Amino acid sequence: MLRTHTCGELNIDHVGQTATLCGWVDTVRDFGGVNFIDLRDRYGLTQVVFNPDAGDEIVSLAGKLRNEFVIKVVGTIRARPEGQANPDLATGEIEFVASELEILNESLTPPFTPGQRVLPGEDLRLKHRYLDLRREKMMSTLVLRSRIIKAMRDYCADNDFIDVETPILGRSTPEGARDYLVPSRVFNGKFYALPQSPQIYKQIMMIAGYDRYVQVARCFRDEDLRADRQPEFTQLDIEMSFVDSEDVIGMIDGMMQKLAKDILDIDIQLPLERLTYDEAMTRFGHDAPDLRFGMEIVDIGEIAAECEFGVFKGTIDAGNFVRGVNGKGAAATYSRKRIDELTESVKDDFGAKGLAWFRCEEDGSLFSPIAKFFTEDQLNAIKTKLGAEPGDLLMFIADTFEVSCKSLYSIRKKFGAEFELYDPKQMHFSWVVEFPMFEKDEDNDRWAAMHHPFTAPLDECLSELDDAPEKSRAKAYDLVINGYEAGGGTIRIHDSQIQQKVFGLLGMNEQECEERFGFLLDALRYGAPPHGGLALGIDRIVMLFAGLDNIRDCIAFPKTQRANDMMTEAPNVVEEKQLRELGIEITKKVEPLV
């Protein structure tokens, strides 16, 4: 090692000792005579002092130091003069008096420095990621990530899980998300697909008798990005044999308890809170509700059916819903203009036809442009149902169940953040269970698997597969943390006949089944144990544990919204020769990324 100590470890106990430090120049304070450098490495900052009595040569060399130069300094540790300790610095009681200085490498003037207070634009940070990653916050987040993954792996190892790597080059399965494709050189015209998840491989591992499988698995989905979604992301992928939902949930309960304790030093009570999918949608309008606060959705269908307001009445007559939420104390901040903006957003985003609102006045009466269509009794009933008090703003959506869910969920989410209805430091873990097996695929007018096509129905729903597939519920469970889907899993179908029936419902005929999943159906016929598992979104869990609102800050080298890597400029054009070998002809010429 070029160094004897790190920049974070020297303290008053080292006074008088000689040491060698290496690191980056974080800041320079040049007084002409005496010269201070804050030297930085992964472990911290140490103030290095260059005194004239160290000699002209070293003083002159120290004068050349600039931000982000990499240096090696030999010197002695000295207590700082009386009254000059820096309490903000772990090493603030001492300083490092340099006797030798070597510039290991210079740096160009950086476009931004890791220590600067104002964060530069994210595009610049991504372009110069090597500088951005030097920032303390990025370092602490990646260290946190490393600790979380270690805790997960330790927990799995303690519970007899076997870590198995599965292929990155796989086969395209057109179900689900768009695949990233890799052309084959040997078989021109054929393609591998990068895995959306190791789903099938881990099921095969169960059939092969490995009993408990785990993998920190990179997954790829070629869909549009969000603040919490990247095209490649990391899952803790788990599968277990001879289990039912309770066993998998119980295993993950224990893991979350350990994570919360080890990482955040908080104690969480087990079992974790549990909601059914139907309950979550009814009460919160979403399958991953933030349970750190209330503001639950209230159905006023009974009142709406009786009132004179045509929109409400008509909605109920058509078999749809009138539901609303109470924005506690929001009347003061929500002017007519802001309510209009809210209305526009639910119209634009979710196709709601409008947003009805009532303001609870000082005297307890309800003010609203539509109040005249309601009797006094009806207004009072609304007040009671939503628990309205003076200053509250009641908002209602009259629409299909789905539109009311999406609209009210978005309002609830917005208000939760805006009115600080929860402690941002609080962590809330819960499960949402019993998802529907299928949802309507409007584009193709057929059923689509809500989770994936290998999901087992609840035992009591087996018979419904034939006559009422929309009613059948799955042995599916999602882990929800603070309103984010942090993971999800299912018990799988281990019976090839049921599997084939589900494939059939999804619109695959026998031939298609054999072509796409013949190997799985075969495997199921060779002694498949009951099995199930789940996958945890590691990037999201890191984001939540770090208190961040953006998944890119939890990934060392993330991609932009258009899936570019701004540093390497991937994706990019390739040489003509490479294309020829792959038998690929580009019909639309593109310029390299700039």
Partner RNA sequence: GGCGCAGUAGCUCAAUUGGUUAGAGUCCCGGACUGUCGAUCCGGAGGUUGCGGGUUCGAGUCCCGUCUGCGUCGCCA
Part in contact with RNA (CB under 7 A); list of ranges 119-127, 272-280, 289-297, 493-501: 119-127
Residue 341 found at the interface with RNA (CB under 7 A): no
List the x/- string, 184-223, binding to RNA by CB under 7 A. Answer: ------------xx-x---------------------x-x
Exactly one of 61, 74, 124, 144 binds RNA (CB under 7 A); which one? 124
Structure tokens that stand for 555 in this block: 């990934």
Part in contact with RNA (CB under 7 A); list of ranges 173-181, 316-324, 494-502, 540-548: 173-181
The smaller minimum CB distance to RNA, of residues 224 and 389, is found at: 224
SS3 422: coil
Part in contact with RNA (CB under 7 A); list of ranges 4-12, 175-183, 251-259, 317-325: 175-183
The smaller minimum CB distance to RNA, of residues 331 and 480, is found at: 480
Among 560, 284, 551, smallest CA distance to 407 is for 284
Which residues in the 290-319 window bind RNA by CB under 7 A? none
Q: Among positive and negative, which fits the CA dihedral 48, 49, 55, 56?
A: positive
Which residues in the 526-565 window bind RNA by CB under 7 A? 550, 552, 560-562, 564
> How far is residue 167's CA from residue 372's CA, in Å, rounded to a whole number?
65
Exactly one of 47, 257, 320, 404 binds RNA (CB under 7 A); which one? 47
Query: How many Cβ atoms are within 10 Å of 53's Cβ, its own excluded?
Result: 8
> How far is residue 411's CA from residue 293's CA, in Å, rounded to a whole number?
13
Of all helices (H) and strands (E), which one includes residue 20? strand 18-30
Three-state helix/strand/coil letters over 501-564: HHHHHCCCCHHHHHHHHHHHHHHHHCCCCCEEEEEEEHHHHHHHHHCCCCHHHHCCCCCCCCCC
Q: How many chain residues touch RNA (CB under 7 A)?
A: 73
List the x/- string, 476-515, binding to RNA by CB under 7 A. Answer: ----------------------------------------
The smaller minimum CB distance to RNA, of residues 392 and 478, is found at: 478
Using left for φ > 0, alpha for ψ between -120 and 50, and beta otherwise, residue 501 falls in alpha
List the x/- string, 361-400, binding to RNA by CB under 7 A. Answer: ----------------------------------------
Exactly one of 3, 8, 36, 208 binds RNA (CB under 7 A); which one? 36
Residue 177 found at the interface with RNA (CB under 7 A): yes
The smaller minimum CB distance to RNA, of residues 78 and 258, is found at: 78
Residue 440 found at the interface with RNA (CB under 7 A): no
Query: How many Cβ atoms are within 10 Å of 176's Cβ, its own excluded?
Result: 16
The smaller minimum CB distance to RNA, of residues 359 and 558, is found at: 558
Query: How many Cβ atoms are within 10 Å of 585's Cβ, its own excluded?
Result: 7
Which residues in the 449-468 window bind RNA by CB under 7 A? 449-453
The smaller minimum CB distance to RNA, of residues 89 and 139, is found at: 89
Exactly one of 16, 31, 209, 588 binds RNA (CB under 7 A); which one? 31
User: DSSP state, 431?
Assistant: E
Q: Which residue has the tokens 């169940």?
A: 401
Distance of CA 129 to the CA centre of its chain: 20
Q: Which residue has the tokens 């005496």?
A: 34
Which residues in the 72-101 window bind RNA by CB under 7 A? 80-81, 84-86, 88-89, 92, 95
Residue 176 found at the interface with RNA (CB under 7 A): yes
Residue 61 found at the interface with RNA (CB under 7 A): no
Three-state helix/strand/coil letters over 79-142: ECCCCCCCCCCCCCCEEEEEEEEEEEECCCCCCCCCCCCCCCCHHHHHHCHHHHCCCHHHHHHH
The smaller minimum CB distance to RNA, of residues 138 and 566, is found at: 566
The smaller minimum CB distance to RNA, of residues 262 and 565, is found at: 565
The smaller minimum CB distance to RNA, of residues 229 and 385, is found at: 229
User: DSSP state, 477?
Assistant: E
